[in-house]
Amino acid sequence: MNDFKIGRQIGKGKYGRVYLAIYKASGYIVALKILLKQELQHEKLLKQLEREVEIQGNLDHPNVLKLYGYFQDDNHIVMILEFAQYGTLYDFLKKSQRISEGRSARYVAQIARALQFIHQKRIIHRDIKPENLLVGRNGELKLADFGWATYAPGLSSAPLTTVCGTLDYLAPEMVRRLPYNENVDVWALGILCYELLVGVPPFEAIGFHETCRRII
């Protein structure tokens, strides 16, 4: 931790906080996602974090947020991430309510390219939504938060059935608890496209069950 000069907090997720930081040796600016070991004690959470690091650390694409490395001390696990200076698409959408057709088209194309890239490597993201899409220094979108990512099932592995992600963005096969594949990300991209243009996701409703019914 002493190799970094830690700056302001730039985000907060379910298990961690994200800080701006400078790597002292080079002056390079990064984002540090700091997780408390104490909060990760559940075996499953640790496995999930290992997978997040393994998957994101091996991806190199202009529309995928880079993970440069990670380290730990007695109390923390720290991910060293590319810093996205313009924050999340969620904040941008909240400010502007909706996004022009031209900009939406560019955003959707960028995430489509990111998905094509990860799906080729048989990786499924499973949590595409505005909070997990960051805006880089040239205004380009970066797919982030691989905390729910997994490998697409092969011929000999069990089909995927774990329900995960965020309700408004769930594909109908997941809502129905059927086996699914990387197409759940493609569905979520469609939801994103709608939300960018309209300002709210298409199947939003009062109550969990009504949203599920509309999605199906």
Stretch that binds Mg ion, among 64-72, 114-122, 138-146, 162-170 (CB under 5 A): 138-146
How near is the Cβ of 196 to Mg ion at its closest, in Å?
18
Longest distance between any two alpha carbons in the chain, whole Å: 54
Neighbouring residues of 88: CB distance < 8 A, sequence distance ≥ 6: 11, 130, 131, 132, 133, 134, 135
Angle at 177 between CA 209 and CA 175, to 5 degrees: 35
Q: What is the x/- site pattern for Mg ion, positions 27-56, by CB under 5 A?
A: ------------------------------
Is 14 one of the annotated binding-site residues?
Answer: yes
Closest CA to 111 of 80, 136, 94: 136
Within residues 31-70, the interface with ligand ADP by CB under 6 A covers 31, 33, 65
Within residues 83-102, the interface with ligand ADP by CB under 6 A covers 83-84, 87-88
How near is the Cβ of 22 to ligand ADP at its closest, in Å?
14
Distance CA 64, CA 111 (A): 9
Within residues 9-28, the interface with ligand ADP by CB under 6 A covers 10-11, 13-16, 18
Distance CA 210, CA 70 (A): 41
Catalytic residues: 127
- Position among 147, 175, 185, 189 found at the interface with ligand ADP (CB under 6 A): 147
Stretch that binds ligand ADP, among 6-14, 53-61, 164-172, 175-183 (CB under 6 A): 6-14
Give the CA-trace dihedral at 200, 17, 83, 194, to 10 degrees: -10
Angle at 11 between CA 8 and CA 13, to 5 degrees: 140
β-strands 67-72, 28-36: how paired? Answer: unpaired
- Position among 104, 110, 132, 150 found at the interface with ligand ADP (CB under 6 A): 132
Q: Which does 140 bind (CB under 5 to 8 A by kind): Mg ion, ligand ADP, none?
A: none
Q: Which does 16 bind (CB under 5 to 8 A by kind): Mg ion, ligand ADP, none?
A: ligand ADP
Instruction: Render 50-91 in DSSP notation, one character per residue.
Output: HHHHHHHTT---TTB--EEEEEE-SSEEEEEE---TT-BHHH
Distance CA 195, CA 181 (A): 23
Which residues contact ligand ADP by CB under 6 A? 10-11, 13-16, 18, 31, 33, 65, 81-84, 87-88, 131-132, 134, 144-145, 147
Which residues contact Mg ion by CB under 5 A? 13, 132, 145, 147
